[in-house]
Structure formats: C-alpha cells, structure tokens
Amino acid sequence: MPRVIVSPRAKAARFPNSREVFMNNNIRIGNLFGIPFYINPSWFFILGLVTLTYGGELANFPQLNGIIPWILGLFAALLLFASVLAHELGHSFVAISQGIKVKSITLFLFGGLATLEKESETPLQSLLVAIAGPLVSLLLFGVFGFISVIVPENPPLQAIFSLLASINLALAIFNMIPGLPLDGGNVLKSIVWKITGNPNKGIIFAGRVGQFFGWLAVIVGGLAILGISPIGSFWTLLIGWFLLQNAGFAAQSATVQEKLDQYTAKDAVIPNSPIVSANLTLRGFVNDYVIGKQQWRKFLVVNETGQLLGTIGNDDLKKVATSQWTEFTIETLVKPLDDITTVKSDQSLLDVVKLIETQNIKELVVVTDENVVVGLIEKASILKLLQKEAQMKNQKPELVSSSVE
Ligand SMILES: [Zn+2]
C-alpha cells in the first residue's frame, strides 16, 4: 500500500493533493498496538461493494441459500481488509523497530495507508520498511492458500480462502510496482539512495517512475472506459490518478528539499536585517532605525565585535523618558535572548527549514562560528530565495551557479 512519510521536510512544500482529499473526515476507531487507527468514510463504500461482489459469487453455490452467501461475503470482505491492515502493520512494526513513530494507520478507498513520522536513517533500513508490507501479504497468500487446501470438502469455504489467497498475492505484486508512492517505489528509492548517497535523488527518481505508472494506469483506464482497451476499468483510471498525484507530490517535495540542501543559512538572510549596536544612544536608535521606518518592531542588539547580546523592541523605548534618550544607550534596555533561536551561517538551509517547521519558529538569527550576527531568517526570506532561483533558472540557466551568493 502507499506509504506516506510526513517529515518536517515534506511539510515545507505542502499543497492539497488527492491523498488529502481522500484523507479528510477520517473516523478514529481506536489504537492498534499503540498506533492510532482510522477509517475513511470512503472505505464503507468499498466494504459494501466487495461484500456484494463476493456475496454474488457465493450465491452461485447451491449449498448456500438465503442470506448466507451475503454474510459469508461480508466475512470475506472483512478478512480482505484485515489482510490490508496486516500489510500496513508489517511496515509499521519494522518502522517502530527503527525508532520511527507511526502516526496513524488508515483504511481508505484504495486500501491502507501507514503514516510514518520520518524517513529511515539508512537506505537499507528504508528498504526493510518498504518490503515488510508485501512480505506480510505474501505470507498471508501462503496461509490462506494452505487453508483453502486443507478445508475438508467445502466448496464455498474453499472458494473464499483461495480468493483471499489470490487477493493477498495481488496485493504483494501490485505494491511492488517500482514507482512511488507504492512500496516498490520505496524500494527503488532506497536503491538509488544507496547508489547516489542522496535520499532526495532516490525520491525524485522513484517519483518520476511512479508518475509514469500513474499515467499508464490513467491511459489504460481511459481506453477501457472508451471500450478500446480489453483490460482496465474506471477503477484503473482512479488509481492511476491517485498514483500520479502522490508520485508528483513526492518528487516535487524532494526537489524542493534537494534545492534547500544546496544552500546554507546565510544565503537566506534578509538583506538589511534589523541589527543595532549596543553602544548607540536611544536617540540615535530612534532617529536612524525607528522614525519613518515601519519595517521592524524588534532589533538584534550586538556588541562592538558584532556578537549577539539580546534584542530591543520599539515598545521598550517607553521605559525611558524621551528627554533622557541622549543619555542612555541601547545596552540599558537590551532584553535577554530567551526567545531567540540561532543557527550557524554554514548550516544547510534544509536543516534550518526543518527547525522552523518542527519547532514552529517564526524567525532565526544567523551567526558565524565566532557568534557574529549575520542577520535574520524568516520563512518568507527562504521562499524569496527559492523564487529568485526559479526565476534565474527560467531566464539564464547558465547563471544559476554564479548567482547563488
Ligand atoms: Zn505497503
């Protein structure tokens, strides 16, 4: 089943997609091994559909009369979803064994979804998480296949169990298609990650392959609806659309991360950040930085060598009578650094974004190794940098590397 990692990195580039469309209004059922378990309303539609399909087939058996085939159909449908759940638990247990929190397991229109808090540390670990689901499905194929053989002379029960066996086999095979967001895509991602040493390159590559399979399914489904293709259905089209959206989302988010990783914190510093010297008089501060300048309400205060001492806000000026502004310096009003987070200027911009997202920080102060203040970073200044880069790329591709300063 598609596996989604909601990492702080991924959040940096969020936009609504089909997953979110299908993942709204989830109903919390309870906890499974400590993992919050949800069911999407669309799942009930599928449960009804599968029950009708199975029940209809079972009604053909002369042994089954009245309501019995439909009850057995429901039973088989529930076993099918238990199989899907087991597949997701397979991913989840391996993730948990790596110290990764599983945020939720959800059953929805297209099956199941385990949402992990973050990516594995190594390509091998990532591969193990990805492959665990299909391995569980293969195991269930064996178990149900075995039961269907040993069930004594009972055609309807044999039919149910061999159906469940074949569905689990199909689950394993379908999910091993090597494109994101499918498990096979995650396996491919791990391999490319291992080869290139870069997880984002793995996601981008497997995402593109996922988009290819998504398009393939959309086209096959579309042709089937038009009566041109002998295989496929409206369902194929729908699944293709879902794959397309999620593969594109994964690739796009990884592309942004890849870009962010090429920059350091100092690249995103706001030009003319609000920095003032501690030995400036309050009068000088007001004249040079406050009057007629509405851009900043808070300033970073530095000593003669540029090290950060604290902050001063426009409102702090009220603590000193206007007549005394020439006598006091900013140092008298400086506030401690409690609410300020600093990052080193050569830190990867990707790490900075992670910090902003996980700790919900509005602004960060960039300092050198000697703690000299370089300036301020805000979410907006990071976005501006990326936009600037995108524009440069469109206009003069050859200038991209030299324009990064
Ligand atoms: Zn899976």
Token duo for residue 307? 């090290």
314 CA from centroid of ligand 1 (Å): 55
Known catalytic residue at 389: no
Q: Is the peptide bond before 41 cis (omega within 30 degrees of 0)?
A: no
181 CA from centroid of ligand 1 (Å): 9
Q: Regarding predicted confidence, which is higher, 388 or 17?
A: 388
pLDDT at 22: 55
402 CA from centroid of ligand 1 (Å): 43
Beta bridge partners of 343: 366
**CATH class for the domain made up of 265-403:** alpha beta
pLDDT exceeds 90 at position 386: no
125 CA from centroid of ligand 1 (Å): 15
Alpha carbons 244 and 53: distance in angstroms, whole number? 28
Longest dimension (CA), the chain: 102
Between β-strands 27-32 and 35-39, what pairing exists: parallel, antiparallel or unpaired? antiparallel
What pLDDT digit, counting tens, does each position of 262-294 carry? 888 888 888 888 888 888 888 888 888 887 777
pTM beyond 0.75: the answer is no
pLDDT at 17: 45
pLDDT at 393: 61
Domain with CATH 3.10.580.10 in the chain: 265-403
35 CA from centroid of ligand 1 (Å): 16
245 CA from centroid of ligand 1 (Å): 17
pLDDT exceeds 90 at position 1: no
176 CA from centroid of ligand 1 (Å): 8
82 CA from centroid of ligand 1 (Å): 14
When computed from its CA atoms, the radius of gyration of the chain, rounded to whole angstroms, is: 29
What pLDDT digit, counting tens, does each position of 297-318 carry? 788 888 888 888 888 887 887 8
Total count of residues recorded for the chain: 405
Alpha carbons 22 and 113: distance in angstroms, whole number? 11
What pLDDT digit, counting tens, does each position of 156-166 carry? 788 888 888 99
Among the residue ranges 81-85, 141-145, 334-338, the one predicted with the least confidence is 334-338
pLDDT at 394: 58
Q: Round the average pLDDT of the chain to a whole number and report it.
A: 82
pLDDT exceeds 60 at position 15: no
pLDDT at 3: 57
Given the residues 20, 88, 119, 363, select the one marked as catalytic. Answer: 88
Q: Regarding predicted confidence, which is higher, 403 or 145?
A: 145
Mean of pLDDT values over 10-35: 62
pLDDT at 11: 36
